[in-house]
Structure 1
Amino acid sequence: MRKLEEIRARIKVGDAVILTASELKKRISHEDDITDVDVVTCGTCGVMSGTYAVLSVPVAPPGTFSRAETVTLQGVPAIPGPCPNERLGLVDLMVFGTAHANERYGGGHLFHDLIAGKPIHVEVSAEGRHYDADITLGDLPFARLFTTRSAFKNYSAITNRGTESISTIFSVLPLEGPATEVTVSGCGEINPLENDPSLRFHSPGDPVVVNGVSGRIIGTGTRSTPEKPNLSVHADMKDMSPEFCGGFVTSAGPECITSIGTAIPLVDKTILQNLSVLDDEIMLPVVDIKTRQPFGTASYGQVWNNTASRIGYHPEKCLHCSPCIAHESCPAQAIREDGTINQHTCFVCGTCVRVCEGLVYEGNFGSLSVSNQSIPIVLRQSDRRKAEILCRKVRDMLNHGELLI
C-alpha cells in the first residue's frame, strides 16, 4: 500500500494506475494481481429524488418590480427567495427535481434542458402584474445543483404484495400484485459508498463529480445511517454534461436523474478489502410498497450479473401500433414515435421490453429470488452503463488534473 502523498505525486506525473471499479472487480474475480493499483473510480447514476437547484434568474430591468411572488421555469414551479433581490429584476429561487409542470415534464427535465443549453421560458408574478423572459443557463449569474440525499450505499427492491395495483414513484406503470413484479435501484459493486462504507474518502469538503463536473461533498444526507449511508453534494451546473442527468417519468409523476462519481486511493488493506466487494455479496432488501418494510433479501448479483447493459432493437418485429406503446411508456423519453431508440438517452430500464407486444425490444432483466419465489424485475431505476461511463470520466479528470484526491 502507498501513502496518499505518493499517490498524488504519481497522478501528477502521469504514473498512477487508475482503474474503474468495474475493471478492479474483474481483476478480483479473475484473481489477478492488483498490487499496482493506485486509485479506483466509482460511480452511480439513477433516480435521485433529493436533487434541487438554486438559481439566480434575470427576468426584467432593474426597478421593474419589488419582489417575485410566484415563478415558473418551462412550467415547473419554483420557490422565489430567500433573498428578495428587491427591485433588481433578478429572482433568486429554488427548484426541486421532483416539481412537476405536468405528468411528463418536471424538475429533472428542466435541469437537463438548462445544462443542454436549451432556452427556458420564465414566468413571474409580482404585485398583480405578469412578467416573462426567455433565458439559457449562460444568462444565469448563479446556478448550482444540490442533493439532500444521493448515492445510497444500497437501496431496497420494491414490490406490491397486495392485490390492487399501486401508482408509485418506484414504477413506470402501476405496480401489480401480489408480488408478481419488482423494481430495483442502485448500481451495486461500483457505487462509491459500497466501496467506502466508512466514508473515509467521502467526508465534508472532499471532491466529487456531479453530472460530469467537479463538485464537493457537503456531508451525509437525510435518512443516512451507518448501515446505509448516503451523501449530500453540490456543484456548479454550468459545466455539467446532459448525458448524466434528466427526467424520469413514473406512474406517480416525473422524477429526477442524477449521477455521482468519486475516486478512492488504495492506501491500506482496509480500503482494499472494502473495494473487493462484489455484487453477489451485497444484500438487497425486498420491501412491500405499502408498509415499506422488508420481508426478504436478495442480492445485487441477481440485478446486474449477466443482465442487459443495453436494449436490443428488432424493427422487423414491429406491429406498427398507433400510438406506439413503447414510445408512450418510456420514462426517459428515449423511444421515438417511430419506435426507434435514442441510445444516448436510453436508461436501459426495461420498460419497452415489458410493454411491446411485438417483442421489438430485447433485454434480460432477471428476477429476484425471495422466500422461495422468483419475482421478475420489471424496472431498473439506476443505469449502470452510464455509471460506468462516469467512472471513466472521473479517471480522465484525475489524469488531466481536473479532479484532486
Structure 2
Amino acid sequence: MTRLEEICERIRNKSAIVLTASEFKKQISDRGPDELIKEVDVVTCGTCGVMSGTYAVLSVPVASPGSFLRADTVTLNGVPAIPGPCPNERLGLVDLIVYGTAHASSSYGGGHLFRDIIANHEIHVDVTAGGKDFQAHVCGHDLPHARLFTTRSAFKNYTAIINRSDKPEHTIFSALPLEGESREATVSGCGEINPIENDPTLRFLTPGTQILVNGGAGFIIGQGTRTSGARPNIAVHGEMISMDPDFCGGFLTSAGPECLTSIGTAIPLVDEQVINSLMIRDADIPMPVMDIANRQQVSCSSYDRVWTGTAVEFTYHPNNCINCDPCLIHNICPVQAITGTGEIDYSRCFTCGTCVHLCKGTAYSGNLGTLNLPEGDIPIVLRQSDRRRGEKLCQKTKEMILKGELQI
C-alpha cells in the first residue's frame, strides 16, 4: 500500500491526523520535518479574497409554460444576466450566466447576488421577452440549478498596487480613488496559508480534486486563465446550495462592486517534497508591487509585511467618534460591516482596513503594515484578502476531512 493509499484509508476510517497550514507551520518550527511526516497525514489550506473571475450558471423559473418564447433580457435583483445558451423555448424557464463583476448599482453587484442566493434570500427576477415584461420572486435554494464557477482563483501570489502618477486613480484595487505619488498601497493574497503556495506545482490540485468553494463542496476544473509557471492558479466549480454565505459576497471599490470567493484545499503528506513546499512562510513569499497605470512591476515586497504582526481584527473606539454626518465609514465600508451606530459587524467584517485608514476621528484601530520599497515605507491602506476567513476555511476543511465529508 502506498503512502497516499494509507492516508486515504485513514480518512475513510476517521483516524487521520489533519492539521491546518498554520498549525503545521508552527509545529514544524518547534519539532522539525522528520517527526511530522511520520505523524501528520493531511494539511489544509485556504484563501479568501476578491476574485473577479467568478460567475454563476443558473436556471430560473419565471412564468408558466407558454408565457413567452424565449428571454431577451434578464436581471436578478437588478444585476444583468446573459440568457442562454439554451433557449428553453416556451418553458417559462430561463437558463443564464451572471458575472460576479456585473453591477446593478454602485453598491450591489454579482458578488452580492451570489451571497443572497447562497443565503436563500428572495431574489427579484425581471425578464423581457417578445416586447413583454415578466416578473418573478424566487428563493435562492428553490432554483433548479445554481452552480458557481471561477475562471481563475487562488493565485499562488498576487500583487500590491501603488499609484505613481500625481492624480488619484479610480480602480478595483481601492475603496476610494487610490492616492498618487506612491503614498499608499493596497494588497491581495493570503500568503503562507494559500493553497498553491503550499502546492506550487499543482501536484494535488488537479482536475477532479474535491475542494471547498465558499465553504461548500466543489471540484477543481483545471488551471485557470492567466496561469503561468511563476503565478499558477486554478479554475473551480461548486453547487451554490451547499455553500456558506460567510465565505463570499460583494466588495465595493472605487470602480464598482467586485466579487469575494473562497477556496479550501487539502494536501496529503506523502513525501519530503511535500514537506519542503509546506515549509513556506510569509517572509519567503515575494509580493510584486505594480503601478496601477500599466500593471507592470516596479518593485517587490513580501507577505510578512502584510500578515506578520498585523491586525487580524479591528477595534471600534466610540469615544473617539466625532459624529461626522454622514458617516464616511458607514457609507464606504467595502462589505457594509459598519452599523448605523458605528459598531463593527464582525460577522460581515472582511478586515480590509478601510475604516482604520479613512476615519477622521480615529475611531477604528488596527495595524495594517507597510511595504518597504526603495522610495521608503508605504502604508498599506486596503487588504483585499481576508486571512482571518482563510484560517477559518482551513479549519472547516480540516473538520470535514475528519468527519469523512471531504476525500483526498
Q: Structure 1 length normalisation: TM-score?
A: 0.98
Cα pair 1:212 1:240 within 8 Å, conserved: yes
Q: Which amino acid aligns with 2:4?
A: L
Give the distance between the partners of 1:139 and 1:267, measured in 2 at CA: 42
Cα pair 1:311 1:362 within 8 Å, conserved: yes
Give the distance between the partners of 1:197 and 1:227, measured in 2 at CA: 9
Partner of 1:26: 26
Deviation of 1:329 (Å): 1.1
Partner of 1:324: 327
Q: Is residue 215 from structure 1 mapped to residue 227 from structure 2 by the alignment?
A: no
Deviation of 1:219 (Å): 0.3
Partner of 2:121: 118
Give the distance between the partners of 2:212 and 2:73, measured in 1 at CA: 32
Partner of 2:146: 143
Deviation of 1:372 (Å): 4.7
Give the distance between the partners of 2:163 and 2:2, measured in 1 at CA: 49
Deviations 1:94-115 (A, max 9, x none): 0000000000000000000111
Deviation of 1:324 (Å): 1.1
3-state SS in 1 of match to 2:204: coil
Amino-acid identity (%):
60
Cα pair 1:214 1:402 within 8 Å, conserved: no
3-state SS in 1 of match to 2:344: coil
Deviation of 1:27 (Å): 1.6
3-state SS in 2 of match to 1:149: strand
Give the distance between the partners of 2:49 and 2:19, measured in 1 at CA: 22
Superposition pairs of residues 235-250 of structure 1, within 5 angstroms: 235-250=238-253
Superposition pairs of residues 15-94 of structure 1, within 5 angstroms: 15-32=15-32, 33-35=35-37, 36-94=39-97
Deviation of 1:13 (Å): 2.1
Partner of 1:399: 402
Aligned length in residues = 405
Deviation of 1:2 (Å): 6.9
Deviation of 1:45 (Å): 0.1
Give the distance between the partners of 1:360 and 1:288, measured in 2 at CA: 31
Cα pair 1:2 1:266 within 8 Å, conserved: no
Q: Structure 2 length normalisation: TM-score?
A: 0.98
3-state SS in 2 of match to 1:262: strand
Cα pair 1:182 1:377 within 8 Å, conserved: yes
3-state SS in 2 of match to 1:152: coil
Partner of 2:160: 157
Cα pair 1:45 1:382 within 8 Å, conserved: yes
Superposition pairs of residues 3-402 of structure 1, within 5 angstroms: 3-32=3-32, 33-35=35-37, 36-402=39-405
The two structures, once aligned, show a CA RMSD in angstroms of 1.1
142-151 or 32-41: bigger deviation: 32-41
Deviations 1:184-212 (A, max 9, x none): 00000000000001001001111111011
Deviation of 1:138 (Å): 2.1
Cα pair 1:324 1:338 within 8 Å, conserved: no
Q: Which amino acid aligns with 1:8?
A: C
Please list every run of 5 or more consecutive structure 1 residues that lacks an aligned counterpart in the other structure. none
Give the distance between the partners of 1:314 and 1:288, measured in 2 at CA: 34
Deviation of 1:31 (Å): 4.3
